[in-house]
Amino acid sequence: MSSQVTADFIPLFIANLIPLYVVLAGLTWLLHDYFITLEDEIQYIWPQRRSFGKFMFFWIRYYSIALLLFDVIQIHVFARPGITSNNLCVAMDTIIRVVGAVSLWSVEIIMQLRVFALYGCSRRIAAINLALFAGSITGFMWILIFNHSRRAAVIANVIHLGLPGCPSVHSGIEWAQWVPATIYEGILFGFALFKTFQTIILCLRTDSALPIHTLLLRDNIMYFFGISVLLVFNNLMVVSLTHIPWFSYGFPFHAAVGIMTCRMMINLRRETVNDEISLRSLPLSMPTSPAALDAASPQDLWRVP
């Protein structure tokens, strides 16, 4: 092996070893959180009637686990000698991005419905968010197709080096793969932030307590911020100027999206159940206050979900 080939081989070999270990950390983290929150799932989610919110919780919960298992199996099987080829790596590169995007799109559907509920089920807000959502998917697919047509040549240049797995190389405008989703998350974040300020200002003017649905606003803001950070981090891993190694999509992206979303939905459901119990404990002769009416609203928000 010539000195030039060796100089190219060593950094690529190290880059391919990183996902082998990091993806296991992602699966461990996800399973650890799953068993920690399993009791809450049984207590707050299982007893609920069939609804779209309940279906989406189970879909995201167990799709995330299946996705991490897929990442672990794929990365470690491909690391065996003689498994990978140029065509296989190009195809798997596209598949990994699509199955990861399905997870993100599923969560974005939930967040659209939450914003829809926060704005009083406004059809205008729903139409705007739906159009932007379709635009983000279209942008993602266009960038994916554009990069796919150029990946074969880039991978072919290094596939002969005998690396453990598909080469961790990036090409074209791969750095922009998650930019449409990042922009869309930023817009949803803006909707939630505006409603938060509006609610706080209204409560300060009327000297009233913050309604229970501020929990929904708080969770939305925390989630949008967390997902935006993950999407930006994904883009930075691809840009070579940052010198951030490629960790794989399994960790932190796939694991963190599943964990944050499920915890957010469990948290809302827990507060809803607690408020339902509080309302049932009130005397029948006791007049219903505006605060009590606000306390009943999370049930409707959960169903949205």
Which residues have a Cβ under 8 Å from the Cβ of 125 and sit 6 or more positions away?
A: 115, 116, 119, 191
Backbone φ/ψ region at 82: left (φ over 0), alpha (ψ -120 to 50), beta: left
Q: Spell out the per-residue pLDDT of the chain, length 305, in tens.
A: 556 656 667 888 888 899 999 999 999 999 999 999 999 999 999 998 899 999 999 999 999 999 999 999 999 999 998 888 888 998 998 999 999 999 999 999 998 988 898 888 899 999 999 999 999 999 999 999 998 878 888 888 888 778 888 888 877 788 888 899 989 988 998 898 888 788 778 777 776 655 556 666 677 778 878 888 888 888 888 776 667 888 888 888 899 999 999 998 998 888 777 766 655 665 554 444 444 434 444 444 445 56
The model's pTM is 0.84
Return the ∠ at Cα 234 (arms to 256 and 24), rounded to 5°.
50
Q: What are the residue ranges spanned by the domains of the chain?
A: 3-303
CA-CA distance, 87 to 155, in Å (whole number)?
A: 9
Cβ atoms of 227 and 260 closer than 8 Å: yes
Q: Give the model's pLDDT for residue 161.
A: 79
Q: Amino acid identity, residue 200?
A: I
Tokens in use for 103? 């997870």
DSSP state of 139: H
187, two tokens = 């817009």
Secondary structure element (H or E) that encloses residue 230, with its range: helix 214-238
The helix (H) or strand (E) run that includes residue 55 is: helix 52-78
Token pair recorded at residue 68: 């991490």
Among 31, 130, 99, 48, CA closest to 298? 48
Which pLDDT belongs to residue 260? 92
Sign of the CA dihedral running 104, 110, 116, 119: negative
Q: Does domain 3-303 have CATH number 3.90.1720?
A: no
Residue 191, C-beta contacts closer than 8 angstroms, at least 6 positions apart:
115, 118, 119, 125, 129
Q: In residues, how long is the chain?
A: 305
Query: What's at 231, amino acid-wise?
Result: L
- What residues have CB less than 8 Å from 205, skipping those under 6 apart? none
Torsion of CA 112, 113, 116, 118, to 10 degrees: -110
